[in-house]
Amino acid sequence: MNILEFSLLVWFGSFLAGFLGALTGLGGGVVIVPFLTLVFGVDIHYAIGASLVSVIATSSGAASAYVKEGYTNVRLGMFLEVATTFGAIVGAIVAAKISTGFLAVVFGIVLLYSAYLSRQNPPEHLNNLPPNSLAVRLQLNGTYPTPTGEQSYNVRGLPYGFGLMFIAGVLSGLLGIGSGALKVLAMDRIMHIPFKVSTTTSNFMIGVTAAASAGIYLNRGYIDPGLAMPVMLGVLFGALLGARILVRAKVKLLRNIFSVVILVLAVEMIYKGLTGRL
């Protein structure tokens, strides 16, 4: 296989990862790393570096649209980015000091959880809880557009949400994923923010989180431009197409297919990590 054929295959696989990631809301990073390591035999550290670059690209592209539409809570996102950025730096430092086998097992466990989440379709809910004093002082409460007009909401559980964001950042730096699922879980279930606001604010945050850890991977030589470029372009175009189709498509079947693919990848990653074949 020559360089052109390798790049085209990586681009196509990344395109599918970005497409399915956009439809499920989990992003393409959960597919990119096992795809590169299991199919092409890429060292997991280089796969993580390429995945982080793709996360930055896709987040930057989609975040601006969500901010313009009024869904993203920018003040809350910037506040929580303090925790995710610090966590991402810690995760990236730790990733360089542990074995590839251990990384593969951890990634496999995260994939199993992602497979479960991809089958869930959280309902939108209104937020009628009383305001939190800390959120009021920091002016983190906000509004978002609905078919009936602007709907206000209050942010709750700020300290617990901040702590979970640190964990999400560690996973992002450690595994090269956006950790959007954990961010959304923290904002939706712990901080009681409407689901649409949670997902869009998470997308706004993951690019900054990935950029923090990507700098460490770049400094250690784990970001190969020849690998990162087709991965970034593939995920970006796939995510754009998936976002357009998501608006008008029923994606239950795709979610089920995605969860099966993720489950298979998870088992393979855990098996090869435990047997030292990566």
Selection from 16, 81, 87 nearest residue 54 by Cα: 16
Q: Please tell me the predicted confidence (pLDDT) of residue 246.
A: 61
Report residue 183's pLDDT band, with 50, 70 and 90 as the boundaries.
Answer: confident
Report residue 80's pLDDT band, with 50, 70 and 90 as the boundaries.
Answer: very high
Instruction: Provide mean pLDDT across the span 106-117.
Output: 82
The domain total for the chain is: 1
Q: Please tell me the predicted confidence (pLDDT) of residue 107.
A: 85
Residues 24 and 241 sit within 8 Å (Cβ to Cβ): no
Whether the pLDDT of residue 162 is over 90: the answer is yes
What dihedral do alpha carbons 248, 253, 259, 263 form, nearest 10°? -150
Range of the domain at 24: 3-274
Report residue 62's pLDDT band, with 50, 70 and 90 as the boundaries.
Answer: low
Q: Please tell me the predicted confidence (pLDDT) of residue 6.
A: 92
Report residue 122's pLDDT band, with 50, 70 and 90 as the boundaries.
Answer: low
pLDDT in tens, 218-232: 988 999 999 999 999
Token pair listed for 65:
């649209």
Q: Please tell me the predicted confidence (pLDDT) of residue 61.
A: 65
Axis crossing angle, helix 3-24 with helix 44-69, rounded to the nearest 10 = 50
Q: Can you give the pTM of this predicted structure?
A: 0.79
Please give the C-alpha separations between residue 112 and each of 58, 84, 238, 269, in angstroms, as whole numbers: 23, 22, 23, 10
271 bridge partner residues: none
Q: How many CB atoms lie within 10 A of CB 70?
A: 14
Whether the pLDDT of residue 266 is over 90: the answer is no
Q: What is the mean pLDDT of the chain?
A: 82
Q: Please tell me the predicted confidence (pLDDT) of residue 89.
A: 92
Q: Please tell me the predicted confidence (pLDDT) of residue 12.
A: 94
Residues 195 and 187 sit within 8 Å (Cβ to Cβ): no
DSSP 103: H
Whether the pLDDT of residue 233 is over 90: the answer is yes
